[in-house]
Amino acid sequence: RTGRALGGGRLPLHQHGHHHARPRRRAALRPPLPGQLEDPARDADPAGPLRPRTGGGLMAARVAIVGCGLIGTQWDAQAPDAPYSLTHAAGFSKHPGAELAALCDQDLARARQAAATWGAAAAYDDVRALFAAERIDIAVAAT
């Protein structure tokens, strides 16, 4: 038995009558093994190690959000009764595996206000200065 492949070729069918043109990525669905997310090379960084998460050995990812407008930081302040996070800042500030390290906006006053609201450690008005000064694991472009 055979199946049709893209371009008119044939692929062998498995016992259940279907074929896999691409390998399955089941490993991507599994949780990481202990120590898999720890990076000793990063811990030797002169800027210091990633902050340990409370209650576990995994390290918190340092997050920067570039853009402090509605989707970046403001919608949750406008809809405080929403049952879920509406902004990137709210989502990362509540996530146990994330540390909201820095916010950046062309308007420094807005970045500082958002940093105070969401508990970010730093505020910038220049993205190059942010990445020169901070060690960031995840950057969100919310412009």
Query: Quick check: is 76 in a domain?
Result: yes
Query: Quick check: is 15 in a domain?
Result: no
- Domain interval for residue 92: 61-141
Query: Quick check: is 35 in a domain?
Result: no
Closest C-alpha among 50, 48, 68, 46 to residue 58: 50
d(C-alpha 12, C-alpha 1), whole Å? 6
What is the dihedral sign for C-alpha 98, 100, 104, 107?
Answer: positive
Query: Quick check: is 132 in a domain?
Result: yes
105, amino acid identity: D
CATH number of the structural domain spanning residue 84: 3.40.50.720
d(C-alpha 41, C-alpha 63), whole Å? 19
Query: Quick check: is 79 in a domain?
Result: yes
With 0.75 as the threshold, say if the pTM is over it. no
pLDDT in tens, 66-93: 998 877 666 666 666 666 677 788 888 8
Based on the structure, what is the number of domains in the chain? 1
The enclosing H or E element of 99 equals strand 98-104
pLDDT in tens, 94-140: 888 999 999 999 999 999 999 998 899 999 999 999 999 999 999 99
Residue with tokens 């302040």: 77
Strand order in the sheet with 122-124: 122-124, 98-104, 61-66, 138-141
